Structure 1
């Protein structure tokens, strides 16, 4: 689903200058797709991979402290199924906001439970059995509701769009075996927006 969006997005925004793309916890198949993105012979992206623990990435970084990247230097971020692992997801979202250029965009995805009314989180829970029970995996520390996830992104200063089958193509969804209920969350750093400085964990 990410590749469907990027296959449309990269050519649409091509102005002859490669986009700087940073992919956190990269997936091999998507990483290969992004590396191949060209408008013929010219690469459409300058692509970097990043992770805290995985070997073989370009940048070893903590999503909550992206000091390797300067302010407003990244055109596009990919952050798929990472925020549910980090101790302070608000801080991580603010870091994504910080490194994006004005007008920069990204894909941010997490596991979402549609019947959940609010985010269930507790970084102090370390017992694997309890984490499986509450969060669905032994290295997760929160379970997101849809409203909670979108709200937290907006709290971090990002605007959010939801794209589904009608946006990316019903036929393409069917061809690739993607359920019509699947949603892609696209974030953007709009000029003039700032994170909510009254949010928990924000140092003013």
Structure 2
């Protein structure tokens, strides 16, 4: 099968290659079409979500938009709980490591002055109106109190000086602004685990759960955000959903949302 794919890639012109991939994607998605689960972002329905992760999680990834459990929960939260998004209020938004399924929505919102950004913007070269900007989260190139809303999901665990990154997020947020700052957390640990002598990918994967992570946050994550000035709400929004809904939307029942205000 690998050899066949390689030959097809070499022989077909790009226009036909795109059609081939699109057809294959359609076949793959169509094979799982059903009414067992529904993606809250792209509204696709399937028998189940795709298994995903280093340790495979069942019912995790949307076959259409690629959303994971955390993305679907956050999008539902954005739509239901954040008035400025729901009511179409004009805002300026900064979005670190912009997930494509979110980018596709925010990039087309007329009320949102949207700035997607990352240290490696070439990894987020989406076909949209807005180009991803190169930004170092520990040295954000914007004036104090620039943004009404900041999304920074699963980024801080990659940053050696996370306190500086948090301070920068606080600095560029407007008074009265909001940020959603998600990270992987081990709630069995009271304190965040860091060991900067661990530098190999293998060592980091064993210690922190992924080979490009530099820490594993514990229950003190809220305190770390509070320390730089944020008012933090550990929102247990997911608890409003029934067991049937949790399975339907592929939410993780222990996921807390870190709603940070200034």
Assess same fold via TM > 0.5.
yes
Of residues 130, 153, 165, the one that matches 1:80 is 153
Alignment partner of 1:60 is 2:127: no
Q: Which residue of 2 aligns with 1:4?
A: 76
**Looking at CA atoms only, which structure, 1 or 2, has the larger radius of gyration?**
2
Q: Does the C-alpha gap of structure 1 residues 14 and 7 become closer, same or farther in structure 2, counting only changes over 3 Å?
A: closer
Preserved contact between residue 143 and residue 172 of structure 2 (Cα < 8 Å): yes
How many residues get paired?
Answer: 182
Shift of 1:168: 5.8
Shift of 1:126: 1.2
Preserved contact between residue 19 and residue 75 of structure 1 (Cα < 8 Å): yes
Shift of 1:15: 7.4
Shift of 1:124: 3.7
Q: Which residue of 2 aligns with 1:156?
A: 228
Preserved contact between residue 2 and residue 30 of structure 1 (Cα < 8 Å): no
Shift of 1:125: 2.2
Preserved contact between residue 238 and residue 254 of structure 2 (Cα < 8 Å): no
Q: Which residue of 2 aligns with 1:104?
A: 177
Query: 2: distance between equivalents of 1:179 and 1:137?
Result: 19
Query: 1: distance between equivalents of 2:240 and 2:170?
Result: 25
Query: 2: distance between equivalents of 1:5 and 1:168?
Result: 11
Alignment partner of 1:21 is 2:85: no
Matched residue SS, 2:176 = strand
Shift of 1:31: 1.6
Preserved contact between residue 3 and residue 33 of structure 1 (Cα < 8 Å): no
Query: 2: distance between equivalents of 1:183 and 1:132?
Result: 23
Structure showing greater relative contact order (alpha-carbon pairs closer than 8 Å, 6 or more residues apart): 1
Residue ranges of structure 1 left out of the alignment (5+ in a row): 38-42, 190-204
Shift of 1:7: 1.0
Preserved contact between residue 158 and residue 188 of structure 1 (Cα < 8 Å): yes
Q: After the TM superposition, list the runs of 4 or more consecutive aligned residues in structure 1 that deviate by more than 3 angstroms.
A: 9-17, 165-175
Which has the larger share of helix? 2
Query: 2: distance between equivalents of 1:167 and 1:134?
Result: 30
Aligned alpha-carbon RMSD (Å): 2.1
